[in-house]
Amino acid sequence: MRKDNIKDPYRRFYANLGFERADLFGLIKNKYNCNTVLYPGCSIHITPSFYFQHVVYVDISEEARNFFQDTQNIINRINSNKKYKQSAYIKFIHDDYTKQLTLRENNYDLLIAIYAGGITKSCKKYIKPGGIIVTNNHHNDAQEALRNSDVRLEALIRRKGRKYQVEESTREKLLKTLQNHSIPLKNMRNSNNGMEYVDNEYYFVLRKTC
């Protein structure tokens, strides 16, 4: 594999389309001060490592496995974009996140649960009590998680104009928003530079209570 090939899929599927959602992760870092992150169903989306020093990525796809094989080139890309002083730590697990992973339970500050179903149900056990889960409720991920008393709905994040904003409201209002939530059908638009991603998602912030 040529060294520059490791950058091409990320650039093609994320950077060039504006699909990185870098400001989202910056907001989560600043608001919730998470340090250790678990990202199941990650594909090749390494943007969280620009903001969080310690990220464990999990995906079953061969595309992800091939991408993460060249660790040094990924680290070089992260180092050129990271917002923290420490050395970046990444780990990739090529596995099915719905099965038991070789990870310590109650160990991570943040679970990223976006664009894949069943993440919170399968992986919340790896999150510390008091840690947070950020989900866009794909396949009713958030609603399924809230059936258990060890998770509560704390806030939602959405993009307004050029910025992501955290909206904290009463539990009743947040639950109503979640119940009425549906995944946007159209997240792409034409621009002067070609097709670009428009983030119309709602990201729900769940808190693991125990």
Q: Pick from 12, 51, 15, 25: which is nearest to 159 by CA?
A: 25
pLDDT digits (tens, 9 = 90+) for 183-205: 554 454 444 444 444 567 889 99
* Token pair in block for residue 166: 């955290």
Q: What is the pTM of this model?
A: 0.85
**pLDDT at position 17, please?**
62
d(CA 135, CA 154): 12
Average pLDDT over every residue of 22-26? 94
For residue 176, what is the DSSP state?
H
For residues 33 and 169, the model is more confident at 33
- Residue 161, phi-psi category: left (phi > 0), alpha (psi -120 to 50), beta (remainder): left
d(CA 166, CA 24): 10
d(CA 148, CA 200): 28
- Domains contained in the chain, CATH given: 3-208 (3.40.50.150)
* Token pair in block for residue 101: 């992973």
Half-sphere exposure at residue 178, Cβ-oriented, CA atoms within 13 angstroms: 30
pLDDT digits (tens, 9 = 90+) for 48-107: 999 999 999 999 999 999 999 988 889 999 999 999 999 999 999 999 999 999 999 999
Name the residue with tokens 């596995």. Answer: 95
